[in-house]
């Protein structure tokens, strides 16, 4: 596996994501952020397990589109890159 996708600092710890209950209306937005965070930390699998969504989930597109706009406004190139990658996913 490419070292770009390995989080060596995790030292066997599972990342935790602060997610509301699944029936909470803000769950999908929080899940979108969790997936972006997981990929940014090099551990997308834990974010997918925590949210129940896979990378590229169509249901999350509106939230990712808002994340992309925010990234562009804040000139956050890494966040922009991740959001664009998500939106290009099949």
pTM here is 0.83
pLDDT confidence bin for 4, thresholds 50/70/90: very low
3-class secondary-structure state, position 22: coil
Dist CA 35 CA 83 (whole Å): 10
Residue 7 lies in a domain: no
Better-predicted residue by pLDDT, 73 or 10: 73
Residue 19 lies in a domain: no
Residues 6+ apart with CB under 8 A from 7: 41, 42, 43
Say how many domains are in the chain: 1
Residue 6 lies in a domain: no
Residue 11 lies in a domain: no
Q: What is the pLDDT of residues 9-60, one digit of tens each?
A: 555 566 789 899 999 999 999 999 999 999 999 999 999 999 999 999 999 9
Place of tokens 């939230």: 63
Contact criterion met (CB below 8 Å) for 78 and 66: no
Residue 2 lies in a domain: no
Dist CA 68 CA 77 (whole Å): 10
Q: Compute the average pLDDT of residues 55-76.
A: 98
Residue 15 lies in a domain: no
Residue 35 lies in a domain: yes
Among 42, 44, 47, CA closest to 19? 47
Q: What domain range includes position 55?
A: 24-88
């Amino acid at each position: 596996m490419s070292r770009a996708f390995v989080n060596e600092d995790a030292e066997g710890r599972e990342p935790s994501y602060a997610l509301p209950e699944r029936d909470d209306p803000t769950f999908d937005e929080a899940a979108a952020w969790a997936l972006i965070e997981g990929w940014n930390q090099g551990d997308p699998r834990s974010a997918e397990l925590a949210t129940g969504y896979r990378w590229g989930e169509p249901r999350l597109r509106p939230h990712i589109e808002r994340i992309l706009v925010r990234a562009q406004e804040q000139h956050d190139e890494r966040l922009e890159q991740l959001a664009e990658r998500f939106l290009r996913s099949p």
